[in-house]
Structure 1
Amino acid sequence: MLLKPLKAIMKAKLFFFTFIQILNFFLLTQPVVAKETQKDSFVIFFDQQINSSHIALLATRELGFFSDLGLDVNFVLATSPREAFQQIIDDRGLLAVTTQTRLFLFVGDGIAVKRIATLIDTPLSGIVTLTKSNIRIQQDLKGKRLGYQADSLDAKIIQAILSNTEKSFNEIQFVSLDQPITQALLEGYVDAIITTERQKTIGVIEAHKKTAFLLPIEELGIPPFDGVVAIAARNKLNDPKLKRFLQALEHGTLWVLDHPQDAWKLIAQKYNFFNNEAEQRAYPDLLNRLSAQPQAFSSLRYKRFASFLVEHDLITVALPISNYAVELNDESKP
């Protein structure tokens, strides 16, 4: 009588054991799905249209170096330079990309931001003319038409330098341009132009089968300054995301310098503005201006530039350099 219950129990145990074996086999042979780590998201505002001078930043994101350090970085174009500054003050973004010139101007207006990184560590401005004009030095501008964009701070700096020689300044005809300044030069509307993108401007001229001549802004008696910088609000300098940002940016910058052609292809495929003959011609010179150590800066250079701006009435006072810039590193306490 006990034989049937025993057989039933043994059969149940065998079934259960077989089920466990099948379940274990199923679990062991399934691919492991890693739980995605939550990334820290933030916005970087640009105070002008994204362009080739931002290539290190663009490449860093496209290569995944931000993501590797747990950062999800979004790029947003501000409606104006002042709005880019205000957005990070209002905590709508962690960083803004601007110029050292605007940094000094807006800090002087009481906007509490500091430069934490440099993308381009040389000026990008200058006076460009066609080679056939025979303008080679500053004095050759006498009696010439010099075109500029009305909202260009660098144009004001160059005007300030030229005004040092009152006679020369008065003999230059400054022309405020609404149309694209390079086109005005090519069409002969002006004899020379003040540009904030000298590599690209020369590239555009060469793409039109003409040759250009450059008077760099730093050869006009203007102290060297950073062409493109990243800024953060002063009350956010202890945000741990900033040091990860700097680490990734340095990695991305060095990759661009080590692999210039691959970097070109990467960005040209992603961003339409980069994929043209003018940008391609300007690219080699732009590479030479990338800051290989984005977090580093020269306090002496900043001091000289601030003094220059005060001397030429472009800002009212030169503040301590700690008001304008900081170098963040593992030991720093901003």
Structure 2
Amino acid sequence: MTSMQRRLGGVCLALFVALILSTPLLTGRPDSVQANQVDDEAALEVIEVVSRIADGEPTTGGGPGIDTPGPPSGVPVVPPSIILRAPEPIAPPPTRELNVVLDWYLSPQHAAFIVARERGDFDQQGLKVSFSAPADPSVPTKLVAASRADLALGRQPQLHRQIDQGLPLIRVATLVGTPLNSLVVREGNGIGAISELRGKTIGYATQDDIQPALAIMLAHHGVTLDDVTLKRVDFALGPALVEKRVDAVIGAMRHVAPFQLVEEGIVPLSFMVEEHGLPRYDELILIANRDHLNGQRDDIRRLIAALEDATHWIINHPDEAWELMIRSEPGLNTKANQQAWPGMLRRLSLRPATLDARHYLNFQTFLYEQGLIQERYPIERLAVDLSAP
């Protein structure tokens, strides 16, 4: 065999080997790791022989040369394959943490938070959300203003007054868009109208229950704050009324307080704040620190999206939602809360991020005209819709 023939034979064989090596990539047929290793060793041996032939060196037994016959008929030739390694998994984005201070002890009005946590809606948004009840119901928004909490739940009237006091607060979502606050008295104690509260003792939980709610309601019936005695009872509104330490309480949540009082043997008489001089307002809003909002905007937007998903699921599956809540928070499983649940469902905001700017500006004007705030502020200082483009 001449040198030229040897070199042509080597080139042809090299092309043949390259075709064999590329076969698995074209067909995509997987083979076992052990077979791959054996076949690759055979391929390396063939390449070595080809190199020898191309360089004019003689071949030895044990390897296929140009003049060496192929394998016997019927013996399958398994082409070498390449081991393909799976791509490295993509690490998920880090979980962001937010802490929320509730406005009150845990109750059905906080359903969206409880369900979002238990269903994993927060997890799907990449959030770890913790929430806690305050020891003092007057402090949640103050903690946010002092940068000691990310978010707090509160009421719209409270927001207006605290902004007027210089606190850097802003509304970012609405969970309950109607008033829940009410003035409650015991039936049969000689008080059948608000005008008959003159000279009586009224219990309250926070200063915001007095101004504007109680002051406006009394004034609507010709009574002033100077005509009554005020007694702070914090969370114990119901017990104070049951034990006759007060004649009435302001700040009682209308969706649950009457049922709680009936359990205690009291027949309550409730007066709705919006029916006695106070314009309608958002009862339960999510409040952030305005100075930190730009840095928390995306996290808060994700939180609100999770709350919206949870709320829609609650509306669509009220019985399952109730079972989920009491399973995760056994303290909620009371007769009064169960009775309050259907009424609470009707008040949950289905679009918590959406802002009715006119509603906030009109309520601010009312407070200003009543002398309850000193200035009027643009809507950007009061509230924001983080879902807006």
**TM value normalised by structure 2:** 0.69
The alignment covers a number of residue pairs equal to 311
Q: CA distance change for structure 1 residues 72 and 39 in 2, over 3 Å: closer, same or farther?
A: farther
Determine which of 105, 126, 137 is the counterpart of 1:70.
126
Which of 206, 209, 213 is residue 151 of structure 1 equivalent to? 206
Query: 1 CA distance for matches of 2:36 and 2:98?
Result: 58
Structure-2 change in CA distance of 1:91 and 1:205 (3 Å): closer
Is 1:328 the counterpart of 2:386 in the alignment? yes
Question: What amino acid is the match of 1:108?
Answer: D
Asked if 1:241 is matched to 2:299, the reply is yes
1:212 maps onto 2:268 in alignment: yes
Deviation at 1:330, TM superposition (A): 4.9
User: Post-superposition shift, 1:316?
Assistant: 1.8
Aligned to 1:41: 96
TM-aligned CA distance change 1:152 to 1:275, over 3 Å: farther
Work out which of the residue numbers 115, 127, 138 in structure 2 matches 1:59: 115
Which piece of structure 1 moves more, 269-278 or 289-298?
A: 269-278
For residue 336 of structure 2, the aligned residue among 275, 278, 283 is: 278
How large is the Cα RMSD of the aligned pairs?
Answer: 3.4
**How big is the shift at 1:302?**
1.2
Gaps of 5+ in 1: 1-12
Q: How far apart are residue 191 of structure 1 and its match?
A: 3.0
Check 1:282–1:62 CA distance in 2 against 1; reply closer, same or farther (3 A cut): same
More relative contact order in 1 or in 2 (CA 8 Å, sep 6+)? 1
- 2:207 partner amino acid: S
Out of 376, 385, 389, the residue aligned to residue 318 of structure 1 is: 376
Q: Could you tell me which runs of 5 or more consecutive residues in structure 2 were left unpaired when the two chains were aligned.
A: 1-33, 42-80
Aligned partner of 2:351 among 293, 297, 300: 293
Between the aligned partners of 2:313 and 2:238, the Cα distance in structure 1 is 32
> CA 1:235/1:15 → structure 2, altered by over 3 Å: closer, same or farther?
closer
- Judge conservation of contact 1:268–1:274 (CA < 8 Å) in 2: yes
Q: What's the offset of the Cα at 1:230? A: 0.8
Residue identity matched to 1:296: T
Structure-2 residue corresponding to 1:305: 363
By how many angstroms is 1:186 displaced? Answer: 2.0
Give the share of equivalent positions with the same residue, in percent.
28
- Residue by residue over 1:245-287, the C-alpha shift from the partner in whole angstroms, topping out at 9 and shown as x without a partner, is 2221111111111212211111112224312122222222222
Per-residue deviation at 1:83? 5.5
In structure 1, distance between residues paired with 2:221 and 2:279: 21
CA distance in 2, matches of 1:112, 1:119: 21
Q: Which SS does the other structure have where 2:261 is aligned?
A: helix
TM-score by length of 1: 0.79
1:72-221 alignment, distance < 5 Å: 72-77=128-133, 84-85=140-141, 87-88=143-144, 93-133=149-189, 135-142=191-198, 145-149=200-204, 151-164=206-219, 168-169=223-224, 172-178=227-233, 180-221=236-277
- Contact conserved, 2:181 with 2:253, CA < 8 A, in 1? yes
Contact 1:243–1:329 (Cα < 8 Å) also in 2: yes
The farther-off stretch of 205-214 and 248-257 is: 205-214
Matched-pair contact (CA < 8 Å) for 1:182–1:201: yes
Maintained 8 Å contact 1:43/1:73: yes
| Contact preservation (8 Å) 1:66, 1:73 | yes
Q: Which has the larger radius of gyration?
A: 2
Render the CA deviation track for 1:55-107: whole Å, top value 9, x for unaligned: 11221121111111222222244565675445545655442222222221221
CA distance in 2, matches of 1:230, 1:109: 19
1:142 and 1:162 mapped to 2: Cα distance? 12
C-alpha separation in 1, matches of 2:122 and 2:35: 54
Letter in 1 for 2:161: L
Cα deviation 1:114-135 (Å, max 9, x = unaligned): 1110011112211112333464
What is aligned with 1:8?
none
8 Å contact from structure 1 (residues 199, 282) kept in 2: yes
Q: Residues 208 and 35 from structure 1, CA distance in 2 versus in 1: closer, same or farther, beyond 3 angstroms? A: farther
Rounded Cα–Cα distance in structure 2 between residues aligned with 1:165 and 1:221? 6
